[in-house]
Structure 1
Amino acid sequence: METSADKLGALMLALALHAGLLALLFVGLWWSRPPQTLSVAGPVIEAVLVTEPGMGRTPPRAAPPKPAPAPKPEPPAPEPEAPPPQPLPTPSPQQAPTPPQPKPQAPVPKPDTREQERVARLAQQQAETKAREEAVERRRQEQILLEQQAQKVEAERRERLRRETHERERKLADIRRQREAAEKQSRLAAERLQQTRDARPELPSTPAKEQGPPAPAPARAGNEGVDESLKAQYVLAIQRAVESNWLRPETVRPGQPCKLRIRQIVGGEVIAVTMDPSCPYDELGRRSVEAAVRKAEPLPYTGFESVFSPDLLFTFVAPEG
């Protein structure tokens, strides 16, 4: 559809065409005028220039051309009539300007897959290297921890062994002291017995026929019981040995019994003392009885070899007074 600018352009073009035609018509009329001939008074004189032979000749000048007869002027051409003005086109409704179409975007260049693969391989190699380094560091830390734990266990074992050795040596020293004390008491008892025997007067010997009824056997030490067996005498000897080394706590009543088990070896050396659960003594009383057994070591053995018992169940009775 034509716009106002198109119509104005067509009108200007038509005017310029008409102006050009008028200019050409004017120029044609001006060139078509006949030339004016120069008219001089007098006859026409003709002359001929003669030159001698051998002399330098100068080329004759050419006679000026005779003027051609002027053509008859042609009648002027009639001026062309100007064309009638064309009717202006009916303006049509203007169309809405077409919105500019978006320029097509340039295609996105495809990335180089080889470069991507190279980068991916490099990243994977770095990750694997980092994982290996972390695994090595983790194993190193675990090894250090294991070594520290082993050192700690070894130190604890050495400390426990040192304490056990110290405790064993202390117990052995106590046993030696108790044995020495018991040996000393045994020696003193033997000396007192020998002194008693030495102080006893000797009876004169008499013929058998003059002798009266046999004298009763000397009374053996006892506790006014009725058991005259060697086993009873052995238990009584242990009772008296323990009593002589016992310090009665205030919590133990006189005459109160306490059953205990004594483990010993040949010679009367005590290995262990265990209180029976039925013992009514409190903790202080039980410790006092155990200490008395240790102090009485070695327990009576000589003369009781036949009734010796390495595992002796013994009932201790708190003495009166």
Structure 2
Amino acid sequence: MAETAAPRRAGRDGGRVRPALLAAVLAVVPLLSGCLVDPDPSPTEALTSSPAVTGTAPSTSAPLETTQSSNKAPVYWIGRTSSNVFLFREFRDVPDQENPVTRALRAMMSEKPLDPDFFTPWQNPSKLATSISGKDVITVDVSEDAFNSNLDAGMAARAIQQLVYTATAAAASSGLIDSGQQMRVRILVDGHTDYLAFGHVQLGDLMARGAGMVAPVWIIDPQEDSELPAGSVKVTGRSTSPGGKVRWQVLRAEENGTKAPFVTGEAAAAAEAAQAGVFTLALTLPAGEYELRVAQADTADQPDPNEDSRSFKVR
């Protein structure tokens, strides 16, 4: 589904940790096909999910993506909020030489997120291929060099779910599978099962999307640091609470470098199945530099520790 996009995204001022800091602390299957790429020779240093994983995760997972006409690939990344570690999604431009699932996973393993608050622990694999068996099983065969990162158990589990979410999203958004089904993913490593991924997660069995892995709310558009024409600015995002409200705020950069509140409000996330959780805003903004912040609105009217934010310019 093509999605477009103000409280504040956790991590901008002490929530999600930027990749540079993370690196410092850091069943017959059809014929598989995929092209070769050069592996990344430099394994990432230890990445740890502690203590952020101790927060309470939302109880629902994001619904499976629906078919979209765009060629952009849905790719999930890992990001921190002030209380937890979640998956966040971007739509990315990718080459079309491979099938939609393979190219989305290749982007996840070899490219950097557009948003600097996100990261991926995966390494660029020397081999990657995918196939779909029957109506509900995606098989991913990846080389062992993709796992050359040192992770703790919590981060390893999130990395595997990052792959599961990306593979199922790519298959659903490209129309290869019915988005109304419960899709499962089998991960093979160099054609074999029973690999211990990142030293913690046993592979081989079918895996489904884990509940509570995705961020409670995130902004899809505008993209980080994008430049938009003055006038109407369309904002799109997603909440894991279909039918619920999100609270948003737009801050404008002042000449002294500070950010001042410019406009605030609430919006309802769609409840219908085809657009579950999607929210949209139509803002009229003059030229300037802005930060959009969004969070789920709770009944207690307390700050949500799991906000998302996005910086952009209007020219």
Q: TM-score, normalized by length of structure 2? A: 0.20
Structure having the larger proportion of residues in helix: 1
Q: Which has the higher contact order (CA 8 A, sep 6+)?
A: 2
| Bigger-Rg structure (1/2) | 1
Structure having the larger proportion of residues in strand: 2
Q: TM-score, normalized by length of structure 1? A: 0.20
